[in-house]
Structure 1
Amino acid sequence: MKGILTIVVFLVTFGSAFSQQEDDKHPLLTDRFIIGAGWYFPARDVKLGVEGNISIGEIEELEDIDIDRTLGLNEGDKTFNFNFLWRFSKNKFWSVRGDYFRVGTSRNVILDEEIEWDEITYPVGGEANVSYEIGLYRIFFRRAISTGQKHELGGGLGVHGLNFKASIEGEGFVGGTSAGLERSDISAFLPLPNIGFWYIWAPTDRWAFSASVDWFGIKIDNISGGLWNVSPGVTFQIIRNLGVNVNYQFLKFNVDINKDSFKGSFDLKFSGPALRILGNF
């Protein structure tokens, strides 16, 4: 929270240095720089596979034995998120947007299902430490198609990058024989391109309603993947250089890889509200 307050103070101070004259348009339609920071509260569904034979299902948290967890991660956990927009062309038709958030967990659990990971079996009822960390990056180059006093419609091309790390540590078995304490790790960076569209309707210079959608599906040789990123929201402009945004974000990301060097699958779904403080100038 202190970090967000620091950002807000910086944005207000920095934005006040610009002597821009107010007009009837909402700043989301006119300003060159928009920076947002806040919290995302997603429900999560995380599934992964390695070497084509790993199956990670429901597991129980050791402390409260609640099977409505996936990999020991609470659905109600919040995560910091950050985004920016820069209209870099003189006529403000061209812009670039970036987004970032990360989630992670590390917990001791009792396995509710057998896990086979990279030829090592972790049995039902065994105690293990399971952890993972997901960082999601999005960079999107945009072009306004239609603009007006109260609206903006546009589209563009971008890429989502998924940085994924996961591990499990516990007593493992190979072919029914105990291998003692074993630790298995995986890490991968998965880029997935996308096309996208957005629309902003601002009936006043204070209120703006927006919606965006990114999509892509690809299958090349032994790699296939898909992406949906949908985000409707509303923005209220508190003062000239400071606003607040509330939106709902649904993100689904899946990739299957079947190569000699790596075989695996990643199926991630996040959905929930987000609250951001916006600085614009």
Structure 2
Amino acid sequence: MFKALALCTVTLAGVSQACNAKDMTIQVGGFYSQSDSSIDVTDPTIGQNYRLDFESDLELAESQFLPTAAFEYRFNDRHSFYLDWKQLHRDAETLAVSRPFQVQIDDTIYEVKAGGKLATTLNIDIARIGYGYEFLQGNNYSLGVSLGLHAMFIDSMFEGTISACTSSQLNNNVCGTQAIPRVVDESVTAPLPDIGLFGSYEFLPGWKLSGHAQYFQIKVDDIKGSLVDVRAGITADLGDNWQMSVAYNYYKVDVDVHQTGDNQVKVADYNISYSFIGPMFSVSYRF
């Protein structure tokens, strides 16, 4: 979250010095998300890898109301710069882990015993920055193309009675009895570029139909991801530079991050699927 906010702050500061204030729009709102996230781990009792699901296995919430914020700066009539941010922060406590697992972070192997109590935190922030160009304009309509970049900031943490050891200290794939209360605080950044179309149509004075569609798929080194973002809605002027928007949104990001490590134990490979299908509500102010 702090990385995303820092990115927003630095960018807004630079833009504010280079633009006229009347061309800026700030938007805040909220929506409901549907999340599916997992991490690949090792079962020490049988020495096999399996996928640990944060929602079904560790009881993190699948559906949640989330905040969103956006900033846009328009210049030279057809051009625009935009930046937005979405937040998904969750934590839960599992009274008894149903299956043991190990993960390796750097040179340390962490092991959670079956039946043990475990507190889990998984925070995901998505920041998007990009540029838009309206290549078609009329009296009451416009159509444009956008180029941008999504960045995901993933913070995970496990807390509980968890053993820790190095790979050389493993005894039949099992760590010793040493226990520590807080074992993992890991961050991964996965960049996802995107390209899309956007447009609007004013069907009544002060009332617009608007929408956008964005897509991209990429594989760079050990990061593979895809993005689909489709939105359609209605925007109404409220007077004095205020606007209200109601939209229907389909938004999905899939990211797989593979981390190379010791062959004996599966390293913390993240498999994040972040999706939303439903209504969005927002209020914006132009100044």
Q: TM-score, normalised by structure 1?
A: 0.75
CA distance in structure 1 between the partners assigned to 2:221 and 2:93 by the alignment: 38
Going from structure 1 to structure 2, the CA distance change for 1:44 and 1:220 (only over 3 Å counts) comes to: closer
Going from structure 1 to structure 2, the CA distance change for 1:130 and 1:58 (only over 3 Å counts) comes to: closer
Aligned runs of 1:119-130 on 2, under 5 Å? 119-130=109-120
The farther-off stretch of 160-169 and 100-109 is 100-109
Aligned runs of 1:152-231 on 2, under 5 Å? 152-173=142-163, 175-176=173-174, 177-181=176-180, 183-231=183-231
Cα shift at 1:259: 5.1
Going from structure 1 to structure 2, the CA distance change for 1:241 and 1:225 (only over 3 Å counts) comes to: same
Maintained 8 Å contact 2:38/2:54? no
1:171 partner letter: T
1:103 partner letter: L
Cα shift at 1:36: 0.8
Q: 33, 54, 59: which is aligned to 1:42?
A: 33
1:116 aligns with 2:112: no
Structure 1: gaps (5+ residues): 1-30, 60-68
Say what the alpha-carbon RMSD is for the aligned residues.
2.7
Aligned runs of 1:1-281 on 2, under 5 Å? 32-49=23-40, 55-57=51-53, 71-89=58-76, 92-110=77-95, 111-118=97-104, 119-173=109-163, 175-176=173-174, 177-181=176-180, 183-258=183-258, 260=260, 264-271=269-276, 272-281=278-287
Q: TM-score, normalised by structure 2?
A: 0.74
Cα shift at 1:251: 2.5
1:280 partner letter: R
Count residues with an aligned counterpart. Answer: 240
Maintained 8 Å contact 2:217/2:225? yes
CA distance in structure 2 between the partners assigned to 1:226 and 1:50 by the alignment: 23
CA distance in structure 2 between the partners assigned to 1:122 and 1:88 by the alignment: 54
Percent identity, aligned pairs only? 22
CA distance in structure 1 between the partners assigned to 2:35 and 2:250 by the alignment: 10
2:251 partner letter: L
Maintained 8 Å contact 1:171/1:178? no
Going from structure 1 to structure 2, the CA distance change for 1:124 and 1:39 (only over 3 Å counts) comes to: same
CA distance in structure 2 between the partners assigned to 1:231 and 1:53 by the alignment: 38
Cα shift at 1:40: 2.1
2:74 partner letter: R
Cα shift at 1:58: 5.7
Cα shift at 1:70: 6.8
CA distance in structure 1 between the partners assigned to 2:40 and 2:100 by the alignment: 13
CA distance in structure 1 between the partners assigned to 2:272 and 2:150 by the alignment: 14
